[in-house]
């Protein structure tokens, strides 16, 4: 898991509720990413940030929002507009250069009540 912390490990969301997933890193990496993984599927990019105070949409950004106020932190909010939020959410960081400098966090499993 490198120096990436994701919390909570499990999260339950009620209908119409916004929830925020935490991702913190101590690797001093500039780039951070959020992915969604559904059962039997690969990772799909939600949002990414390559520098503080800047972020870009990935392939499936609708219904999600992010912020990057500090280098160490990249929280993801799953809004009520995301109608099918049940999934495994993974945060990753990348120092740049070789793919070997990318690391994933342990993930947060989001379930809808």
Partner 1 sequence: QKEVEQDPGPLSVPEGAIVSLNCTYSNSAFQYFMWYRQYSRKGPELLMYTYSSGNKEDGRFTAQVDKSSKYISLFIRDSQPSDSATYLCAMTINTNAGKSTFGDGTTLTVKP
Check binding of 1 to partner 1 (CB under 8 A).
yes
Segment interacting with partner 1, rule: CB under 8 A, options 12-20, 64-72, 76-84, 96-104: 96-104
Q: What is the DSSP string of the chain?
A: -TTEEEE-SEEEE-TT--EEEEEEE-S--SEEEEEEE-TT--EEEEEEEEETTEEEE-TT-TTEEE--SBTTB--EEE-TT-S---EEEEEEEE-SSSGGGEEE---EEEEE-
Check binding of 90 to partner 1 (CB under 8 A).
yes
Least distance to partner 1, CB of residue 92, Å:
6
**Four-residue CA torsion sign, 97, 100, 93, 90:** positive
Find the binding residues for partner 1 in span 46-85 (CB under 8 A). Answer: 48, 58
Least distance to partner 1, CB of residue 21, Å:
13
Check binding of 8 to partner 1 (CB under 8 A).
no
Rule CB under 8 A: which residues touch partner 1? Answer: 1, 4, 31, 33, 40-45, 48, 58, 88, 90, 92, 94, 96-102, 104-107, 109
């Amino acid at each position: 898991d490198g120096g990436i912390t994701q919390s909570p490990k499990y999260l339950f969301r009620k209908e119409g509720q916004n929830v925020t997933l935490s991702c913190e890193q101590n690797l001093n990496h500039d780039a951070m990413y959020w992915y969604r993984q559904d059962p039997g599927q690969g990772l799909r990019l939600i949002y990414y940030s390559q520098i503080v105070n800047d972020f870009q949409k990935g392939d499936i950004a609708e219904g999600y929002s992010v912020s990057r106020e500090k280098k160490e932190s990249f929280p993801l909010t799953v809004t009520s507009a995301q109608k099918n939020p049940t999934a495994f959410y993974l945060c990753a960081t990348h120092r740049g250069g070789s793919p070997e400098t990318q690391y994933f966090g342990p993930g947060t499993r989001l379930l809808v009540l």
